[in-house]
């Protein structure tokens, strides 16, 4: 019974943490459109204040997706939103300390209240420490890391890091440009597209992203960003009906910036998805060398393993999967690849 109550509390704790972010986002005028509670298989979802709330099987981790429609006073708003999550854990700790029925709190190992109070204190402090953790197979900064970045970077630097824009910078000039020239109309379409993507409304998301690409004033960095999102969602979510479009998008991105490794990696992955295994493998091999971006390495290794599977190089598959695992990133792709190839490490 106590274990059941602890499990329920884990869900409740994550829910409160994410609701802290959610409510704070509402207060500062952001648009929290999707809240994920837990990890693994989805077991429940519902609508709340025009947002989707999703509960998953494993009561570990959570994330709140928001749309920020303006850079005005961005950093103070973000700091408030990031602080709100850990503050909820702090309030839960105080609640347990005040209202929990326990004796010898820190010495009775069989007392659930004692365990839960320490758990909430751990979450409170852990979320405020500035480091990056792995959630759902991807690297995510803690609330503390986000706050530190907001305090030490300009709006443009913070946004570029948050979105990973440096990966798509072809020259120094692009790095200095505001994201989509801070055009609110384009940004609104982008945030709406991202929201639809996160809610798995792929058709709507694709149409909105393509609408952005019709803008003749996009700099190369922003074009690459959108094109790579489109191709990556086809890969990550196995939307095979869009493979031919993904072929076109990745070829277009490569024509714009053939020297950017992330673009090379995405193109190589699509070639393998299209059955052009040798061609795709050849493009990906340079990205598996030390010194490359770890995410690029992980994706490349997984797709080379997939290519080797179809090329009949069975003895090479585990080597590439193990190399992907060593990067510690893109675990969702690694797990998916192992399942597809029925080869586990």
Q: Which of 332, 326, 271 is nearest to 304 (CA)?
A: 271
Between 128 and 108, whose confidence is greater?
A: 128
Q: Is the pLDDT of residue 176 over 70?
A: no
Which burial class, exposed, middle or buried, applies to 91 when counting CB atoms under 10 A from its CB (0-12, 13-18, 19+)? Answer: middle
Cα separations in angstroms, 329 against 18, 32, 295: 24, 26, 6
141 Cβ contact list (under 8 Å, min separation 6): 130, 131, 132, 133, 149
**50-67 per-position pLDDT tens digit:** 788 888 888 888 888 887
> pLDDT tier at 100 (50, 70, 90 boundaries)?
low
pLDDT tops 90 at residue 243: yes
Mean pLDDT throughout 317-336?
87
Residue 106: pLDDT band (50, 70, 90) is very low
Dihedral of the CA atoms 95, 97, 98, 103 (nearest 10)? 140
Domain architecture of the chain: domains with CATH = 2-152 (no CATH), 178-341 (1.25.40.10)
On the 0-12 / 13-18 / 19+ scale of CB atoms within 10 A, 236 is middle
In a 3-state reduction of DSSP, which class is residue 222? helix
pLDDT tens per residue, range 71-89? 677 789 989 999 999 999 9
In this structure, what token pair is assigned to residue 177? Answer: 């440009």
- Per-residue pLDDT at 273: 95
Q: Tell me: the pLDDT tens digits for 327-345?
A: 877 777 888 899 999 987 7
φ, ψ at 239 (rounded to 5°): -85, 75
What's the whole-model pTM score? 0.69
For residue 169, the 8-state DSSP code is -
Q: Is 181 left (phi over 0), alpha (psi -120 to 50) or beta?
A: left
pLDDT at position 139 is 63
pLDDT band at 105 (very low <50, low <70, confident <90, very high): very low
Scan for tokens 């009561």, then name that residue. 59
Average pLDDT, the chain: 85
**How confident is the model over 27-56, as a mean pLDDT?**
85
CB atoms within 10 A of CB 296: 24
- Integer Cα distance of 139 and 149 in angstroms: 15
Per residue in 210-219, pLDDT (tens digit) is: 999 998 888 8
Tell me how far CA of residue 325 lies from CA of 15, 60, 235, 296, in angstroms: 30, 21, 19, 12
CB atoms within 10 A of CB 122: 12
How much is the pLDDT for 170? 65
Residue % of the chain over a pLDDT of 70: 88
């Amino acid at each position: 019974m106590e274990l059941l109550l602890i499990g329920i509390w884990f869900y409740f704790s994550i829910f409160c943490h994410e609701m802290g972010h959610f409510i704070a986002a509402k207060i500062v005028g952001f648009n929290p459109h999707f809240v994920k509670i837990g990890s693994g298989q989805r077991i429940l979802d519902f609508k709340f204040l025009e947002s989707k709330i999703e509960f998953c099987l494993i009561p570990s981790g959570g994330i709140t997706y928001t749309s920020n429609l303006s850079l005005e006073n961005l950093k103070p708003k973000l700091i408030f939103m990031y602080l709100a999550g850990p503050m909820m854990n702090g309030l839960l700790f105080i609640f347990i300390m005040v209202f929990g029925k326990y004796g010898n709190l820190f010495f009775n190992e069989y007392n659930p209240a004692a365990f839960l109070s320490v758990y909430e204190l751990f979450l409170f402090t852990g979320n405020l420490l500035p480091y990056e953790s792995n959630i759902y197979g991807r690297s995510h900064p803690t609330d503390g890391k986000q706050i530190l970045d907001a305090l030490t970077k300009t709006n443009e630097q913070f946004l570029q890091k948050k979105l990973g824009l440096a990966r798509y910078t072809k020259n120094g000039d692009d790095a200095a440009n505001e994201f989509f020239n801070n055009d609110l109309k384009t940004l609104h379409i982008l945030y709406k597209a991202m929201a639809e993507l996160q809610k798995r409304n792929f058709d709507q998301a694709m149409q909105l992203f393509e609408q952005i690409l019709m803008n003749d004033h996009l700099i190369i960095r922003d074009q690459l960003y959108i094109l790579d999102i489109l191709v990556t969602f086809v890969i990550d979510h196995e939307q095979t009906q869009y493979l031919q479009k993904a072929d076109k998008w990745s070829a277009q991105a490569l024509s714009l910036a053939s020297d950017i490794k992330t673009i090379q990696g995405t193109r190589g992955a699509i070639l393998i998805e299209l059955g052009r295994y040798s061609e795709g493998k050849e493009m990906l091999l340079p990205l598996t060398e030390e010194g490359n971006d770890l995410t690029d390495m992980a994706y490349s290794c997984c797709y080379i393993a997939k290519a080797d599977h179809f090329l009949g190089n069975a003895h090479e598959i585990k080597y590439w999967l193990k190399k992907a695992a060593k990067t510690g990133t893109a675990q969702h792709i690694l797990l998916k690849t192992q399942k597809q190839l029925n080869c586990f490490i």
